[in-house]
Structure 1
Amino acid sequence: MLEAKIEEINCEDRISALPEELLVTILLLVLIKDAVATVILSKRWRNIWMMLPRLDYNETNDVNHARDWGGDDNDDGDDDLGSKSIWWFLDKSLKLHKEPVLEILLISLGRRCPSDANVGNWVEKAVDCGVVVVKFKLRWSAGPTTLPKSLYTCETLKELTLSNKVLVDFPSSSSPSCLPSLEILQLSCVVYKDEESFARFLSSCPVLGTLIVERKKSDNLTNFIVKVPTLWMLWYYNTTWLVNDTDVVDSGSCLVIDTLALIKFDVTDYSRHSWSIGNMPCLEEAYISVDCLSLFDKIITASSAILSLVLTFEDEMIQVDQTAWNHSYFYLKILRNLKNR
């Protein structure tokens, strides 16, 4: 019987020999929990994940790791209440992160997040690191939380998304241009302190170009005023749906739009709130889905340069008076107004 010949093969660890910059690039391609797990590989890997310029904490069970930064407090289908929240992992790992520049911080926490978690600390650390993009979604069982004031004075911030249990409370003592770099702002089903605070927020963004707003029924603003001279794109979605015609039509709420530079306007609004629209001489694209014919007229009247118009009709709007407002008549009216300009 021949003795088995055992040959020892030394495997060279070529990956660990790569430059730190390349190792960081590799870790950016995997989930954050997997990136942190590389600390057990060797001493070479112990601090690599701490150099990541992008941290993505997403409390979801979706195998595709898909993200939806919109939605309301009831969109908790991705929450497994029997599982433990990742907040503890986020809290400990952020304290260990050493990269002096944290460019992107993405946090999406669900109802598993404990109500005593100090979520503001995470955002504050990112601001201290010169963060460029912050996307923060919180759907815990506690009430809306206030984020640190330093977020509203971050000079490096270019894109900000706040969603759900976040109280938008812009400090009154801030300088006139305390968000000098903010270009994209998304507010999805948040809670606002008051109209004055929201007005200060918008007026403190001198280069804001894109505003995405999703409102819900518990929204506490009576007048939603968008007055931004630099704004070129406005996406407005009001989820304050009325159940039936017995609901109060005149709620006293109003959407006010004063944006001279607006080029693209995408609006869905069935709240029956009143509208006040200023002149929009640069508007080229409009996607409109509302339940009131007068709102169509207001948008058309406010624009003289519109090139593309997409309308969504409700059945009751088309059938309300066949002698005056049939489908083809309304289209002809719109086309005639555009042609005359």
Structure 2
Amino acid sequence: MRNINDLPNDLLVKILSSVPTKVAVSTCLLSKRWGSVWKLIPKLDYDDSLSAAPPGLYKYETLVFLGVKKVAIDNVPSTTCFRSLKSLSLLDVWFSSDETVTRLLSCCPILETLVVHRLGRDKVKTFAICVPSLKSLTIRHIVGGYHEPRNDNGFVINAPSLKYLNIVDHLSRLYSLVNMPEQMKADIHIRHCDSEKLLGCLTSSKNLSLCLKPLEGAYPHSDFDQLVSLDLGVMCSFNWLNLILRRSPKLRALRLYQAREVYWSCRKSNSVRTKWRQPIFVPECLLLRLRTVDWFEYKGTEEEKSVVMYLLKNGNSLETMSIKFSESITLE
């Protein structure tokens, strides 16, 4: 049988790609032949319970996929360049400063997919994501139980090529989105936000999924001229529905739901719920465009009944309305 050391690098890389990252890295100790083979692996998943990043991590110019979990990043060398990296996952990664985040992302010139699950205890105040090539961005900033949002903590996003944005955040207040492109799909669940600034950056989106609690008096004034499909979490306020309907003349599909993953935060916060008020004027989309309404986790409250009756009465173009009752509802 041929000695494994005599195999070409491409076969050895295939072998190492099929084993856990720690095992693949440890092969560098076998012999000089194996010393740098593991660096050719196009995909790495590193999980080491908040230890430092593995030795030589910043020298992977051929790495295409990188997943890092529970690792502490104190410093990023100035010579770092993930020249081939297209997908990066930062799961519960501890960063020492804002600058560390900025430097790491600046080392990824062709990055297309970024997933960030933030720890509640890192030292980053403003998590700046400025990646011109980025197409998909997913952010999670959640801790167990109820916590008041942190006024000094947030994200700055500058991604002119973005096609998909997904944010679930219970801790941050400050958001800045700049250079948001047209035709972007956004799925955003945030407890507190500057809704004027946030939604003002999403006015060209055709598909939106929103669960927001606006700051007092901070309802946006922008029009959603391109919006055709809306998923709206109604845990906090039905008045978002009035706002979006009034400002979305092309809306054709509406989905209302109770956002389970943000239920705890909404239920425990003070003065969350505001009563729905019927619009004075019937929105254009109800008269001319809206075709379908789907309501999930419907509880049959008087407020919900009022919304349903309003949509049925004024939806001149409405073709179907589907209501899925909550399991906890008791019909009379």
Asked if 1:303 corresponds to 2:309, the answer is no
Asked if 1:278 corresponds to 2:290, the answer is no
2:256 to 267, 272, 275: 267
Question: Closer, same or farther in 2 for the Cα pair 1:221/1:134, shift >3 Å?
Answer: farther
Q: Kindly provide the amino acid, as one letter, of the partner of residue 159 in structure 1.
A: Y
Structure 1 position 168, deviation (Å): 4.8
Q: Which runs of 5+ in 2 are unaligned?
A: 29-33, 40-59, 64-81, 259-272
Aligned position for 1:186? 187
CA contact (8 A) 2:137 2:164 kept: yes
Aligned position for 1:294? 306
CA RMSD across the alignment: 4.3
Could you state the TM-score of these two structures normalised by the residue count of structure 2? 0.59
Larger radius of gyration: 1
Alignment of 1:206-225 (within 5 A): 206=204, 208-215=205-212, 219-222=214-217, 224=219
Percentage identity across aligned positions? 11
Structure 1 position 272, deviation (Å): 3.5
Partners in 2 of 1:252 and 1:261 — Cα distance? Answer: 19
* CA deviation vs aligned residue, 1:290-334 (integer Å, no higher than 9, x gap): 632221122224433333211245798964xxxxxxxxxxxxxxx
Partners in 2 of 1:237 and 1:87 — Cα distance? Answer: 31
Structure 1 position 201, deviation (Å): 2.3
CA contact (8 A) 2:126 2:154 kept: no
Alignment of 1:1-341 (within 5 A): 9-14=3-8, 16-17=9-10, 37=25, 40=28, 42-46=35-39, 47=60, 48-49=62-63, 50=82, 51-59=84-92, 86-88=93-95, 95=104, 98-111=107-120, 113-114=121-122, 116-117=123-124, 120-121=127-128, 123-124=129-130, 127-128=131-132, 130-139=133-142, 143-144=150-151, 145-148=153-156, 151-152=157-158, 154-164=159-169, 165-170=171-176, 178-193=179-194, 195-203=195-203, 206=204, 208-215=205-212, 219-222=214-217, 224=219, 227-240=223-236, 255-257=242-244, 258-268=247-257, 272-276=275-279, 278-280=283-285, 281-288=288-295, 289=298, 291=301, 292=303, 293-312=305-324, 319=332
CA contact (8 A) 1:190 1:215 kept: yes
Partners in 2 of 1:183 and 1:231 — Cα distance? Answer: 10
Structure 1 position 263, deviation (Å): 2.0
Q: What is the aligned residue count?
A: 251
Structure that is richer in strand per residue? 2
